[in-house]
Amino acid sequence: MLIFKKYTQNLPFAYDTSSLFLPWIMMLMVFLASLTMAGSLAVNNMTEHWNSSIAGSLTVQVMPSSVKAAGNMLDNTMAEVDRAVAVLKQAKGIKDVRVLSDAELGKLLEPWLGNIDLQDDIPVPRLIDVKINMAENVDFPKLKDELAKYAPNASLDIHRVWLAKLMSLAATLNFLAWVVMMLALVTTAVTVMYATFTSLEVHRPAIELLHLIGARDAYISLLFSRRTLTFSFGGALVGMLLAIPLIIIIGTMAAGLEGGVLANASLSALQWLLIAALPFAAAILSGFTAFLTVGFKLKRTM
């Protein structure tokens, strides 16, 4: 803060209302931007976590077909497995479908059933290992419908379907976050522009004097941009500081939610740093906007 003090003292411009309201706008904008950014980063963290949990293989389980059905139960079950495989193979975004062999199944069941022969009439669910292509979006609801139609005893992991839905919601939220950030950015720039126009008008006599004693336009632009930068930074810093406890509270509440779905939302040190950089970015943005505005205006009218 000291470095800013040095530049604001002895400024040839007196204080004016435009310099008073600017910090408030900056505070609000950075407050909003901090919350939005924290939200977006948290959502990103969650989706990343979900992504890795969905990644790789997905398992479809085919329950033994009902005893009431005609014919051999094992044959019926295996026929349903084949139908399920057919459905899975033609679905979009699925890379590989493989039915687990008897040996593999036996291994999986060994802890519970001991060494058994799966060809016997013990009703054991059959498993299909499905590899997903992460680049494509698997239409889980559609897949679920088709499975229900052709292989009613096959079940898709509901949890993952639900996660996929959440992920598309997260993507939407992320997009909204960017829209909000962009709006905050544009609002900041436009606010600074208008504040600068007003300020230029208020300080016209001082500016004229500075010109008459030999100041170049760039000197005046620099004075304005430093002043704007300082005022903006003050407001922006407060905005961020107000947002931080709120982010922490919301974060803690989310972490306490049942199911632990939101447990992976907490921000990393780097992400906190990104939020801490917001007031600096906002101050630099407004200083730069003021510089350009003054340059533009002086060239046009003075």
Partner 1 sequence: MQKNKASLPNIVEFEDVGLRYGQGPEVLKDIRFSLAPGSFHFLTGESGAGKTSLLSLMYLANSPTRGRLSLFDTDVNEENRKKFPEIRRNIGVVFQDFRLLDHLTAQENVALPLRVMGIKELEIKRHVNELLSWVGLEDHINAKPPTLAGGQKQRVAIARALINRPKLLLADEPTGNVDDRIATRLLRLFIELNKIGTTVVIATHNEGLIERFPFPRIHLSSGRLKILPSAKMSGIK
Q: H or E element: which one contains 224?
A: helix 217-255
Q: Give me the sign of the Cα torsion angle 100, 106, 108, 112.
A: positive
Q: Which of residues 201-230 bind partner 1 (CB under 8 A)?
A: 205-206, 208-216, 219
Rounded to the nearest 5 degrees, what angle is found at the Cα of 297, between the Cα atoms of 292 and 301? 160
Determine, following the binding rule CB under 8 A, whether residue 92 of this chain makes contact with partner 1.
no
Q: Which stretch binds partner 1 (CB under 8 A): 44-52, 165-173, 179-187, 200-208?
A: 200-208
Cα distance between residue 205 and residue 211, in whole Å: 10
Nearer to partner 1, 215 or 284 (CB): 215
CB 60 within 8 A of CB 151: no
The strand order across the sheet containing 154-156 reads 94-99, 126-132, 57-62, 154-156
Structure tokens at 84: 């399920």
What is the total residue count of the chain?
A: 302
Q: Which of residues 102-131 bind partner 1 (CB under 8 A)?
A: none
Minimal CA–CA distance to 291: which of 204, 189, 222? Answer: 222
Please identify which residue in 8, 12, 98, 106 interacts with partner 1, judged by CB under 8 A: 12
> Can you tell me whether residue 274 is helix, strand or coil?
helix
Determine, following the binding rule CB under 8 A, whether residue 154 of this chain makes contact with partner 1.
no
Taking each helix axis as running N to C, give the angle between helix 217-255 and helix 204-212, from 0 to 180 degrees, rounded to the nearest 10: 130
* Number of residues lying near partner 1 (CB under 8 A): 16
- Report, in Å, the least distance between residue 214 CB and partner 1: 4
Q: Which stretch binds partner 1 (CB under 8 A): 12-20, 106-114, 171-179, 269-277?
A: 12-20
DSSP code of residue 265: G
Nearer to partner 1, 206 or 281 (CB): 206
Binding mask 15-34 for partner 1 (x = CB under 8 A): x-------------------
- Report, in Å, the least distance between residue 17 CB and partner 1: 15
Nearer to partner 1, 20 or 209 (CB): 209
Determine, following the binding rule CB under 8 A, whether residue 3 of this chain makes contact with partner 1.
no
Nearer to partner 1, 10 or 119 (CB): 10
Cα distance between residue 274 and residue 244, in whole Å: 12
- Report, in Å, the least distance between residue 197 CB and partner 1: 21
- Report, in Å, the least distance between residue 173 CB and partner 1: 49
Binding mask 242-261 for partner 1 (x = CB under 8 A): --------------------
The strand pairing partners of 154, in sequence order, are 62
Question: Binding residues for partner 1, per CB under 8 A?
Answer: 10, 12, 14-15, 205-206, 208-216, 219
